[in-house]
Structure 1
């Protein structure tokens, strides 16, 4: 059975990805929090903003696996506060988790991914923003750029793509309003499973022709003309 490593598996999109992939693959999970689900065959607890912890985890993965089929960089943290109230420490932590860790993991594990896949979970905030989201938006814009850069550096060996989700409702207790559903051309807000299905699709591209691309999965919101 092929092995796929997924970061940020404890909750939300990462949990959905682990659940979907566990049907076909051996799943290695990494997260700061312990997952309450059983979708990971192996799990490593790691704070991705801590470089020492990350490097130690990479060593453990390499000692366990001679090869990987996929690396899904999903873990991410978010803040939403006025620009004047954002701290440099918040900026550095978000960049560390959302962008530096995916780069380090890709660099370290790509030799194990011969004819495999790297899939980076970005965001539509790489292309459009609301006030007070500078660190997160910058990290996700970087993720999209990192994706196409890696696709060239690893060409012929590893396929590298990103997925940019829009509004994905990870709160199972929240019920979207009629207005919120209508805002989407799809007629509903997104679910974590929507992203997991795209990850599954990309992993099934065994010939690796799809690479260097970003797949926007936002229910059509970013295509909607908005007038003042």
Structure 2
């Protein structure tokens, strides 16, 4: 039900990398806010923006908490806990959208899609992957883009649409190579070869 061990490994490696990126961005934002607050001529502006900033911080903290709850439910691996994880991540998605954090929005969409795929609801998984893909591209996250492309390819492969699957694997491979994700590259290559083996006529795609 949960897919291959290798696919899960890539997914969680990606999640770990994303968490580090987001924390770095958050720390940078805090440092910038401190610098602005230390400038006398911006004192009035800082006071005026403080309620909004406080609300943004509260919303972000809530998003992080709900996202973590979703992750814990996902890790339990039961059909019921997976459904509950989807609910938590859908709640988190709205919160990330409120604070306009595009990277976490895309990651959450990717997570929801992954659970739907694990549950066998492939069309629903595609819906979320296709929402995540343009956001990853817009923010320039090549790793997220590659994983999403690879996952879309996996969905099409499971649906028997091998030519469509190859199209997405072909997009994912060079990006995985460019970002140095050898594990993801190996998995994508494996999917690619399996599709070719089952459908030799697609070798020219």
Is TM > 0.5 for Structure 1 vs Structure 2? no
**Relative contact order (C-alpha < 8 Å, sep 6+): which is higher?**
1
| Larger helix fraction of residues | 2
| Structure of greater Rg | 2
TM-score band by shorter chain is 0.3 to 0.5
Alignment TM-score, normalising by the size of structure 1:
0.31
